[in-house]
Amino acid sequence: MSRDFRLYLETQADRVEMTLAAHRLPGRVTGGTVGPRLVRFFLDPAPHVRFASLRSLADDLAIAMKVPTLRISRGRQGIVLEFPNPAPRPLTLTGLLDEVMPLPPETALLGLTDEGAPLLAKFSAPSVAHILIAGTTGSGKSVLMRGIALSLILAQHPDALRLLCIDPKGRSFASMKQAPHLIRPPVQRIGEAIEAVRSAVKLMEARDRRGESTPALIVMIDEVADLVMEGGNSISRALTRLAQRGREAGIHLVAATQRPSAAVLDGVLRANFPLRLVGKVTSATEARLASGRAGTEAHLLQGRGDFLAVGGRQVIRFQSAYISAEEAALAIAERWHSR
Interval 46-60: pLDDT, tens: 999 999 999 999 999
Q: What pLDDT, on the 0 to 100 scale, is given for residue 97? A: 93
Kindly state which CATH superfamily the domain 93-336 is placed in.
P-loop containing nucleotide triphosphate hydrolases (3.40.50.300)
Distance (Å, rounded) from C-alpha 28 to C-alpha 44?
5
> Positive or negative, the Cα torsion across 311, 312, 313, 314?
negative
Burial of 45 (0-12, 13-18, 19+ CB in 10 A): middle
Higher pLDDT, 264 or 25: 25
Q: Note the pLDDT tens digit of each residue in 63-95.
A: 999 999 898 988 777 899 999 999 887 789 998
Q: What pLDDT, on the 0 to 100 scale, is given for residue 42? A: 95
Residue 277 Cα distances to 31, 127, 184, 337, angstroms: 28, 13, 26, 32
Q: What is the DSSP string of 159-219?
A: TTEEEEEE-TTSSSSGGGTT-TTBSSSPB-SHHHHHHHHHHHHHHHHHHHHHT---SEEEE
Higher pLDDT, 123 or 294: 123
Intervals of CATH 3.40.50.300 along the chain: 93-336
Is the per-residue pLDDT at 214 higher than 80? yes
Q: What pLDDT, on the 0 to 100 scale, is given for residue 265? A: 66
- At 194, the pLDDT band (50, 70, 90 cuts) reads very high
Q: Name residues whose C-beta falls within 8 Å of residue 16's C-beta, 6 or more positions apart in sequence.
A: 27, 29, 41, 43, 61, 64, 65, 81
| Total count of residues recorded for the chain | 339
Q: Which long-range contacts (CB under 8 A, 24 or more apart) does 99-106 make?
A: 101/155, 102/155, 103/151, 103/155, 103/156, 105/156, 105/160, 105/161, 105/216, 106/156, 106/160, 106/161, 106/216
Is the per-residue pLDDT at 283 higher than 90? no
Nearest to 92 by CA among 327, 330, 254, 317: 327
Q: Are 320 and 151 in contact (CB under 8 A)?
A: no
Q: What pLDDT, on the 0 to 100 scale, is given for residue 31? A: 93
Distance (Å, rounded) from C-alpha 242 to C-alpha 200?
8
Q: Note the pLDDT tens digit of each residue in 123-143.
A: 999 999 999 999 998 899 999
Is the per-residue pLDDT at 102 higher than 70? yes
Q: What pLDDT, on the 0 to 100 scale, is given for residue 168? A: 84
Q: What is the mean pLDDT of residues 293-306?
A: 86
Is the per-residue pLDDT at 3 higher than 70? yes
Q: What pLDDT, on the 0 to 100 scale, is given for residue 130? A: 96
Q: Note the pLDDT tens digit of each residue in 218-243.
A: 999 998 888 888 888 888 899 999 99
Q: What pLDDT, on the 0 to 100 scale, is given for residue 29? A: 96
Residue 207 Cα distances to 194, 196, 210, angstroms: 20, 16, 5
- Architecture label for domain 3-84: 2-Layer Sandwich (3.30)
Q: Give φ, ψ of 258 to 5 degrees.
A: -85, -25
List beta partners, residue 163: 182, 218
Distance (Å, rounded) from C-alpha 132 to C-alpha 115?
23
- At 252, the pLDDT band (50, 70, 90 cuts) reads very high
Q: Average pLDDT, whole number, for the chain?
A: 91
pTM of the model: 0.83
Burial of 208 (0-12, 13-18, 19+ CB in 10 A): middle
Higher pLDDT, 135 or 300: 135
